[in-house]
Amino acid sequence: MKKAILVFILMLTSNSFAQLNSASIKLGYFNPTATDGGFIIGYEGGKIIDERLLFGWSIDWFHSNYVDKKLVSEFNQVYPISIGQVNELRAKTNLHEFPILLNFRGEFPVAPLTRFYATGGVGIEFLLINYRSFQNPENDEFKAAFDFSWRIGAGVLYRIGSRSEIFGQIDYHSSEPSWEYEVNDGGIGKRIFERSFDMSGIMARVGLRFFY
């Protein structure tokens, strides 16, 4: 009997460590400071170090089309003759955010099929931005911005099969890409505005992870 139990445990252990890689799809809601909140989708690849620790990388995509109220306020102070719809049109912004992070995750069993986990990551963030020309607000211009990024979070996962599990996760994400915005109105002359995008905020997501 003891020998049979030992063989069973060895089989479970062997099966667990044979699954050395994982892949996750995450869907949820992100609410950064700079923009309105919205849908975020992400992918995470992982390498299982042992039964409680996983190392991996992730990439997410978040999109927002909004009016930059901070920039409107700065335009209204410097160019009061244009207060109103013109400055709001100049501040229309369409951005795509792509954080790329290296992650660690530690897992802690709370029930036979349920585990709590804590996670953290560091990396770089890319912002691809379409904004309006100051002189011709009907025209779009393009800019890319970059910044260091970090994230911490926690979640709960539930094993649904030998190679799959579902999870729910809440993260705090921090990043603030910026760049200088130069305008020339022909009157006051050239003036430089700093465009800062505070992409720090809370994200809540659910996902599916499978092992291979």
pLDDT of residue 17: 45
The angle subtended at Cα 103 by Cα 164 and Cα 65, nearest 5°, is 90
Domain membership flag for residue 2: no
How sure is the predictor about 30, in pLDDT bands with cuts at 50, 70 and 90? very high
Residues 6 or more apart from 175 whose CB is under 8 A from it? 99, 125, 147, 148, 149, 150, 199, 200
- Reduced to 3 DSSP states, what percent helix, strand and coil does the chain have, rounded to the nearest 5? 15, 65, 20
Q: Residue 51 falls within a domain, yes or no? A: yes
When divided into structural domains, the chain yields a total of 1
Structural domain includes residue 10: no
pLDDT in tens, 139-197: 677 889 999 999 999 999 999 988 999 999 999 999 999 877 676 665 566 777 777 88
Residue 203 lies in a domain: yes
Please indicate, yes or no, if residue 14 is contained in any of the structural domains: no
Is residue 6, in this structure, part of any structural domain at all?
Answer: no
Least confident of 11-15, 37-41, 52-56, 154-158: 11-15
What's the CATH number where 79 sits? 2.40.160.20
* pLDDT given for residue 24 in this prediction: 96
Between 6 and 30, the more confident residue is 30
Q: Can you tell me the distance from the alpha carbon of 118 to that of 69, in angstroms, rounded to the nearest whole number?
A: 35
Sort strands 114-132 and 21-32 into parallel, antiparallel or unpaired.
unpaired
For tokens 């911490």, the residue is 152
Domain annotation covers residue 15: no
For the chain, count helices (H), then strands (E): 3, 10
CB-based contact 199:36 (threshold 8 Å): no
Does residue 202 belong to any structural domain of this protein?
Answer: yes
- Supply the DSSP string of 162-192, one letter for each residue: TTEEEEEEEEEEE---EEEEEEE-SSS-EEE
Q: Which domain holds residue 63?
A: 21-211
